[in-house]
Amino acid sequence: MAKVKTRNEIRFILNGEDIALGMVAPDETLLDWLRLDRALRGTKEGCAEGDCGACTVLVGRLSAGRLVYESVNACIRFLGSLDGTHVVTVEHLRGDGEKLHPVQQAMVDFHGSQCGFCTPGFVMSLYALWMRSPEPSDAAIEKALQGNLCRCTGYEAIVRAARAISSYGKAAKDPLAAERKAVTAKLAAMKDGSRIEIGAGKQRLVVPADADDLAAVFDNEPGATLVAGSTDVGLWVTKHMRAISPAIFIGNLDGLCAISEDKGVISIGAGVTYSEAFSMLAKRIPALGPLFDRIGGDQVRNMGTIGGNIANGSPIGDTPPPLIALGARLILRRGDKRRTIPLEDFFIAYGKQDRRPGEFVEAVHVPVPARGTKFAVYKITKRRDEDITAALGAFFLTLARDGRVADIRIAYGGMAATPKRAFGVEKALLGKPWTEETVQVAMGEYANDFTPLTDMRASAEYRALAARNLLLRFFVETSGTKVPIQVSRHEAA
């Protein structure tokens, strides 16, 4: 492997200013840096766990050469992960002359703020939405605001403002749009192919040059903390004050961020965010679209990765059950050696995965369901959006010509210590005619497959009951029902 150049500082743009930092602690958050070091106090801390959105800022980055601005939660975004980006805070928004920005003026005129504390975060989320979609539908507005909590307004006034933004100005004339070329050139120039190494000992961080470099670095330091989107590791720091040094930041690495399809298999690089994966997955595996819409809010989807969702081994991660049901395979890499395992074999026990020292998740390979098969995934939560799964069921069914079940794979999250197949239920269905009678019999097998827990999200009884009922829902939905049998926020969104 060719030796890579190293550099000892991170470079990015903050609003209109070029920044180069040689002293960055691996666990320093963007929010603390903005508020404490830069005295930019328009960005607020509401929860420090990426849930309330009061700290929303935009991060512009080059994605396949194209500059994209995405909303992120500054509270769980590590400063060290910002190399080659353009950070935009509420202080950067401006309209013509001394006027407020269109997003801001709409919020004022429609009485979109009361206490005002969440407001800068809402403004930034709406700004991101307006730039990519100047005339958004109500569904798009609500989706863009899933990651922003407001306790005062009841949101109605904010949504009224959101609908009206374009009557205050043209997104194409926005300063960020006007400066696109210059910023793109600047960010491209920052990407100099270097590995970034900062600090030593308990204050060390590395940003590898690319995926191969990551393999080399991690092989050398297998005890390091891999940080992709930091939507989980961020909380290790802000909530549990765990040490993460040495930290290796792997978001946005060349060679790790590709999503592609080849011969009916979609390959998702470990650094691919939910947002990046959305368009291909929603098109090729439509049932995943609505699921992805209910993972976190935009801020989390713009940061969080599918690779991270798998690698952290959580029993309530939302992507493993559907990917297991689809028969996905996981590519693990150490140095130049790779191995491929069925995704379900990765999860051994609570907190224990089949990942060897120095090995990292490089990609997941997801077969596109064959024509005629049926696939669905259902997530159950206390609150519909931006909530963590109480129970999640994924179903992948192949029927024989005679209407019998030729193949069925059912996997659940939230029902055991790991994402888990419902083998007993599958067995009760296999080879049987796909009828409600068969399904009712198979529903009796859930008690053998799962012994769920009671916690703050749901009781064991509810998990068991709702999980079982999801099979009935799947049956009805795959049996030619004309009327929707799920409640929905937006018909045919």
Interface positions, 107-136, toward another protein (CB under 8 A): 107-109, 111-120, 123
Query: Judged by CB under 8 A, which of 370, 482, 486, 492 binds another protein?
Result: 486
* Shortest distance, position 455 Cβ to another protein, whole Å: 7
* Shortest distance, position 201 Cβ to another protein, whole Å: 15
Window contacting another protein (CB under 8 A); options: 151-159, 267-275, 278-286, 423-431: 151-159
Q: Tell me if residue 87 falls in helix, strand or coil.
A: strand
By the 8 A CB rule, do 28 and 80 touch? yes
Q: Is 386 a residue that touches another protein (CB under 8 A)?
A: yes
Count of residues near another protein by CB under 8 A: 88
Which residue's CB is nearer to another protein, number 173 or number 384? Answer: 384
Which residue's CB is nearer to another protein, number 147 or number 369? Answer: 147
Q: Is 22 a residue that touches another protein (CB under 8 A)?
A: no
Strands (E), 188-311: 195-198, 205-207, 225-227, 247-249, 259-262, 265-269
Query: Judged by CB under 8 A, which of 4, 68, 265, 472 binds another protein?
Result: 472
Query: Judged by CB under 8 A, which of 2, 241, 370, 492 binds another protein?
Result: 241
> Could you give the CA distance from residue 69 to residue 88 in angstroms, rounded to a whole number?
9
DSSP state of 149: -
* Shortest distance, position 334 Cβ to another protein, whole Å: 33
Please count the residues of the chain: 493
Phi, psi for 357 (deg, rounded to 5): -55, 135
Query: Judged by CB under 8 A, which of 48, 82, 326, 363 binds another protein?
Result: 48
Query: Judged by CB under 8 A, which of 258, 280, 282, 476 binds another protein?
Result: 476
Tokens of residue 407, six digits: 């193949």
Which residue's CB is nearer to another protein, number 112 or number 304? Answer: 112
Which residue's CB is nearer to another protein, number 72 or number 330? Answer: 72
Q: Is 303 a residue that touches another protein (CB under 8 A)?
A: no
Q: Is 44 a residue that touches another protein (CB under 8 A)?
A: yes
By the 8 A CB rule, do 228 and 248 touch? no
By the 8 A CB rule, do 304 and 277 touch? no
- Report angle CA 218, 219, 220 to the nearest 5 degrees: 85
Strands (E), 327-404: 329-334, 337-342, 347-349, 352-353, 360-367, 374-380, 391-399
Q: Which of residues 347-376 bind another protein (CB under 8 A)?
A: none
For the chain, what is the total number of helices (H) and then of strands (E)? 19, 21
Q: Is 462 a residue that touches another protein (CB under 8 A)?
A: yes
Q: Is 73 a residue that touches another protein (CB under 8 A)?
A: no
> Could you give the CA distance from residue 265 to residue 243 in angstroms, rounded to a whole number?
38
Window contacting another protein (CB under 8 A); options: 48-56, 129-137, 344-352, 445-453: 48-56
Query: Judged by CB under 8 A, which of 56, 71, 81, 104 binds another protein?
Result: 104
* Shortest distance, position 162 Cβ to another protein, whole Å: 9
Q: 10 Å Cβ neighbour count for 178? A: 11
> Could you give the CA distance from residue 347 to residue 417 in angstroms, rounded to a whole number?
9
Query: Judged by CB under 8 A, which of 4, 9, 19, 41 binds another protein?
Result: 41
Q: Is 181 a residue that touches another protein (CB under 8 A)?
A: no
Q: Which residue has the tokens 């939660």?
A: 73
> Could you give the CA distance from residue 236 to residue 246 in angstroms, rounded to a whole number?
14
Q: Is 320 a residue that touches another protein (CB under 8 A)?
A: no
> Could you give the CA distance from residue 119 to residue 131 in angstroms, rounded to a whole number?
18
The one-letter code for the residue type at 188 is A
Query: Judged by CB under 8 A, which of 219, 385, 399, 435 binds another protein?
Result: 385
Picking from 108, 96, 106, the residue whose alpha carbon sits closest to that of residue 163 is 106
> Could you give the CA distance from residue 307 to residue 152 in angstroms, rounded to a whole number?
36
Q: Which of residues 389-408 bind another protein (CB under 8 A)?
A: 390
Which residue's CB is nearer to another protein, number 16 or number 116? Answer: 116
* Shortest distance, position 6 Cβ to another protein, whole Å: 29
> Could you give the CA distance from residue 319 to residue 324 in angstroms, rounded to a whole number?
9
Q: Is 202 a residue that touches another protein (CB under 8 A)?
A: no
First-to-final CA distance of the chain:
48
* Shortest distance, position 424 Cβ to another protein, whole Å: 20
Q: Is 444 a residue that touches another protein (CB under 8 A)?
A: no
Window contacting another protein (CB under 8 A); options: 168-176, 279-287, 408-416, 449-457: 449-457
